[in-house]
Amino acid sequence: MSSAPELKELEFALKVRRALDERAASLPQPAADRLAAARRAALARKKPDAGVVLVPALAGAVSSGLGRAHGPAPRPVSLARRIARALPLAVLLAGIAGIAYWENQQHTAELADIDAAMLSDNLPLNAYLDHGFNAYLSHTR
């Protein structure tokens, strides 16, 4: 999106260009030749644009804030080195998955123990549902 100052600046630049184009036809020929020679000389002295080399941010090469790489080009990474880099991550993920599985098994075993204790108790199951019984248990202790 363009803002109002940018639009005004663009309109002004177009007006200036139009005025210069209109006046260029009325310039004397020697002045036009001198201007053309000066333009060619200025373009000849202009330094060539430096080629900007952009590298990915995570390529591993040290780069400046402008994305230009310094130093030699990085060497291709071998398959063994890639596997060596990925192995710690795979071990970490396997460990986390193992811990989650073990925690789930422990929780299931605890719930099974509670269910077995409730089912093997002499107290009927309806007693656990009676709120008055819970109040009785809390007062007798």
Local confidence pLDDT in tens for the 141 residues of the chain: 567 888 899 999 899 888 888 887 788 888 888 888 988 888 888 877 777 777 676 655 555 555 555 667 777 888 898 999 999 999 999 999 999 999 999 999 999 998 888 788 777 767 777 777 777 777 766
Token pair, residue 88, equals 């710690």
For residue 109, CA distances in Å to 67, 97, 120 come to 56, 18, 16
Q: Which residue has the tokens 């192995």?
A: 87
| pLDDT number for residue 44 | 86
> What is the C-alpha separation between 23 and 26, in angstroms, rounded?
5
For residue 114, CA distances in Å to 119, 121, 138 come to 9, 11, 20
Q: How far is residue 112 CA from its own chain's centroid?
A: 45
| pLDDT number for residue 141 | 60
> What is the C-alpha separation between 110 and 104, in angstroms, rounded?
10
Task: Report angle CA 54, 55, 61 to the nearest 5 degrees.
Answer: 135
Collapse the DSSP code of 68 into the 3-class scheme (helix H, G, I; strand E, B; otherwise coil) and give the result: strand
For residue 26, CA distances in Å to 32, 83, 116 come to 10, 73, 107
**Residues 64, 76 contacting (CB under 8 angstroms):** no
| pLDDT number for residue 64 | 52
